Amino acid sequence: MIPNGYLFFEDETFLDSTVAKMNALRKSGQFCDVRLQVCGHELMAHRAVLACCSPYLFEIFNSDIEPHGMSHVTFEDLDPEAVEILLNYAYTAQLKADKELVKAVYSAAKKLKMERVKQICGDYLLSKIDSLSAISFRNFASCMGDGRVLTKIDAYIQEHLLEVSEQEDFLKLPRLKLEVMIEDNLSLPSNGKLYSKVLNWVQRCLWENGDKLDKLMEEVQMLYYSADHRLLDCSHIMEDHGVFSAEEDHNQFVQKNPPRENSSVPRLQSTGSSDSTSPSNTPKSCRREWKYIASEKTTNNTYLCLAVLDGVLCVIFLHSRSSPQGSPSATPCLMKSLSFEVPRESEEHPLTSMHYARSGLGTVALHGRLIAAGGYNREECLRTVECYDPKDDCWTFTAPMRTPRARFQMAVLMGQLYVMGGSNGQSDELSAGETYDPLTDTWAQVPELRTNRCNAGVCALDNTLLVVGGSDPCGQKGLKNCDSFDPVTKTWKNCAPLNIRRHQAAVCELGGYLYAIGGAESWNCLNTVERYNPANNTWTLISPMNVARRGAGVGVYEGKLFVVGGFDGSHALRCVEVYDPARNDWRMLGSMTVARSNAGVAVLGNRICAVGGFDGNNFLNTLEVYRPETDAWSDCVVDVGPSEDVCSSP
């Protein structure tokens, strides 16, 4: 072909032919300028090819003092066969490895920073996971520091814990044996909350009392579950008030310095081998991973749990008894609970509350969990971020935001969390935003908004982030301004303005449209609702709500908008209403158990969750859920067995 007078020819066979010839040259050692020494084996290759595939080798070659000479790179910790497989991949784009070599290929790819190969190997291992290999695969993924693979392996273990517990790898894990005494009129909390208390007790033993994990595992530990729902050492039960003061100090310690599952400090997840990096030899300043993974109630009074304690993968056996007499002589016997065959009588337990009371917080659902960030109480704006796992009914901390902020909203865009604007408690509005990467547990700065604002709506739409309305710089009236952020180019642009000035509006996406619901013009609350169409960049007023409100939360479930709580200008609200876009109408639903303005709302499974807020008198840290099938809100979870999910399908 000769388009526009120029000769143009594309040889479809050239690339394959060239690649094959270059690989043949590599294997014969011709024109090679790099020599890899791998555990006594010598592998020849071409520096330019390897530099294109491996960022690790690129850095080495780029720093060579004599770039035109022969490069020598030595690896003492890689499998020569695995490196040969990666060399073949670098030349042919074909990854061929026997199943016995996949882990070695993964390790070599990690060393050479070949991320695509790591992902392929990780996916292969996940496809082969079963109860026999689960612990082995988890130990490997932990050593590799692969959070993505670890999360999926843990999900598998949660579903198959009893089968996994029967395998040899599981039986070899170090184990912590606990005997818990409880009063006759008390019962232990649900699994997630129970093991949150166990992890806190172990942390106190290690961090405050100076105990060592391997010492705790040498014998059965006697504990006491008090009437005020605390887990205490039996040795302290007879002390007057000293134990309670110590426990109160511990609670403050946990709140001020919460252990994070994804810490940035070095951590170990091993099977408990004793070496220089064991927990007993780790300084207190180097706190490693603490994680509840899965648990089962195996008999009426015996529990089995798999957890990571200070970086060590461990089994926890817990036996409860109401009588303080006697002591177990051995680990409780593992058996399948009778409750799997015979229905038990349901027991209600309060849903676990956040560590901090929060109003004006940012809330989203991400990967089946509820994220609650920032907010304010009577004292200050917060940086802390908490994550609620409905399967365990427990809250854990993730990395805090870079800036304390409240009166903002949060959205999920391309797997990342975005917060924009808000107030830091010192200046009226913020222009800065942040984004959170759940894979690395880190926050990063986002280019600033064109206008400082708080109380703005934030929502993801068509792979962009929209910021809608908010308060003016004086905080006296709402704004019509709408801005769109492109996460790829990291640039802002203007969108069509709202029809009505709004701050503290509830904002969400449904069916490819963006909805701005209620809010206030100045301090006059609105019941009006408008919808944004990105196709023609226009806002259109739709049917108004039954109740005017600002500071409401909103969630989307089964193609409808659920608007929750808020403030009507005089009172915090309990009432809830739902919008059906097919009918363009609103109807009232069952009210919440408490009034909540500026609360967080998110949808987990088939449950709508409302958390935090202000009830008119108090700042709240409580959580409640709405069940559409019963049109009722509840602040309790019905404990009907170890597989019950708090906010997901029964």
pLDDT tens sequence across 395-450 = 999 999 998 999 999 999 999 999 998 888 765 567 889 999 999 999 999 988 87
pLDDT at 637: 72
- Higher-pLDDT residue of 280 and 398 is 398
Is 357 inside any structural domain?
no
- Rounded CA-CA distance 483/466 in Å is 6
pLDDT at 409: 93
- Rounded CA-CA distance 275/294 in Å is 27
Lowest pLDDT segment from 93-107, 229-243, 289-303, 454-468: 229-243
547 and 404 share one domain: yes
Q: What is the pTM of this model?
A: 0.50
313 and 399 share one domain: no
pLDDT at 1: 52
286 and 374 share one domain: no
List, as own/partner pairs, every contact residues 519-526 make where C-beta atoms lie below 8 angstroms and the sequence separation is at least 24, other chains included: 519/457, 519/469, 519/478, 519/550, 520/478, 520/550, 521/477, 521/478, 522/476, 522/477, 522/478, 523/569, 524/569, 525/549, 525/550, 525/566, 525/567, 525/568, 525/569, 526/500, 526/502, 526/550
550 and 593 share one domain: yes
- Count Cβ neighbours within 10 Å for each residue of 161-179 and write b for 16 or more, e otherwise: bbebbebebbeebbebbbb
Q: Is 395 exposed, middle or buried (0-12, 13-18, 19+ CB in 10 A)?
A: buried
106 and 190 share one domain: no
Q: Give me the CATH number covering residue 14.
A: 3.30.710.10
Q: Tell me the β-bridge partners of 411.
A: 418
- Rounded CA-CA distance 80/249 in Å is 54
Is 317 inside any structural domain?
yes
pLDDT at 255: 32
Q: Give me the CATH number covering residue 591.
A: 2.120.10.80
- Identify the domain boundary among 311, 342, 373: 342
- Rounded CA-CA distance 395/639 in Å is 18
pLDDT digits over 125-163, tens only?
999 999 999 999 999 999 998 889 998 999 999 889 989
pLDDT at 471: 86
- Rounded CA-CA distance 165/158 in Å is 11
Which of the given ranges, 86-90, 230-234, 557-561, has the highest pLDDT on average?
557-561
Question: What 3-state DSSP class applies to 387?
Answer: strand
pLDDT at 191: 63
Domain count, the chain: 3
Q: Tell me the β-bridge partners of 296.
A: 304
Q: Is the pLDDT of residue 553 over 90?
A: yes
pLDDT at 427: 57
Q: Is the pLDDT of residue 645 over 70?
A: no
Query: E-assigned strands of 300-356?
Result: 302-309, 312-321, 347-350
- Rounded CA-CA distance 313/217 in Å is 13
Give the tokens for residue 7.
């000769």
pLDDT at 249: 32
Is 149 inside any structural domain?
no
pLDDT band at residue 615 under the 50/70/90 scheme = very high
Residue-level length of the chain: 650
266 and 223 share one domain: yes
255 and 369 share one domain: no
> Domain span at residue 291?
173-324+334-342
433 and 500 share one domain: yes
299 and 369 share one domain: no
Q: Across all residues in the chain, what is the average pLDDT? A: 81
Residue 464 near residue 484, CB atoms below 8 Å = yes
Q: Is the pLDDT of residue 367 over 70?
A: yes
pLDDT at 68: 66
pLDDT band at residue 277 under the 50/70/90 scheme = very low
Number of CB atoms found within 10 A of residue 567's CB: 25
- Identify the domain boundary among 342, 374, 389: 342
> 20 phi and psi, to 5 degrees?
-60, -40
Is 271 inside any structural domain?
yes
- Rounded CA-CA distance 100/290 in Å is 31
Q: Is the pLDDT of residue 525 over 90?
A: yes
pLDDT band at residue 192 under the 50/70/90 scheme = low
- Rounded CA-CA distance 419/456 in Å is 10
Residue 523 near residue 498, CB atoms below 8 Å = no
Sign of the alpha-carbon torsion through 352, 354, 359, 365: negative
DSSP conformation letters of 185-252:
T-----HHHHHHHHHHHHHIIIIIS---HHHHTTSPEEEEE-TTS-EEEGGGTTSSSHHHHHHHHHHH
- Rounded CA-CA distance 271/276 in Å is 14
- Rounded CA-CA distance 556/621 in Å is 23
Percentage of the chain beyond pLDDT 90 is: 49
Give the tokens for residue 412.
């999920």
Q: For residue 637, what are the CA distances in angstroms to 139, 349, 633?
A: 33, 5, 11
Per the listing, tokens 């642009």 go with 493
292 and 409 share one domain: no
pLDDT digits over 565-576, tens only?
999 988 999 999
Give Dmax over CA atoms of the chain in angstroms. Answer: 98
Is 329 inside any structural domain?
no
Please compute the mean of the pLDDT values over residues 469-489 and round it to a whole number.
84
pLDDT at 122: 93
Is 85 inside any structural domain?
yes
Lowest pLDDT segment from 7-11, 476-480, 550-554: 7-11
406 and 466 share one domain: yes
Q: For residue 642, what are the CA distances in angstroms to 300, 301, 646?
A: 12, 13, 11
Q: Is the pLDDT of residue 338 over 50?
A: no
Is 458 inside any structural domain?
yes
What single letter denotes the amino acid at residue 515? Y
427 and 539 share one domain: yes
Number of CB atoms found within 10 A of residue 130's CB: 12
Is 595 inside any structural domain?
yes
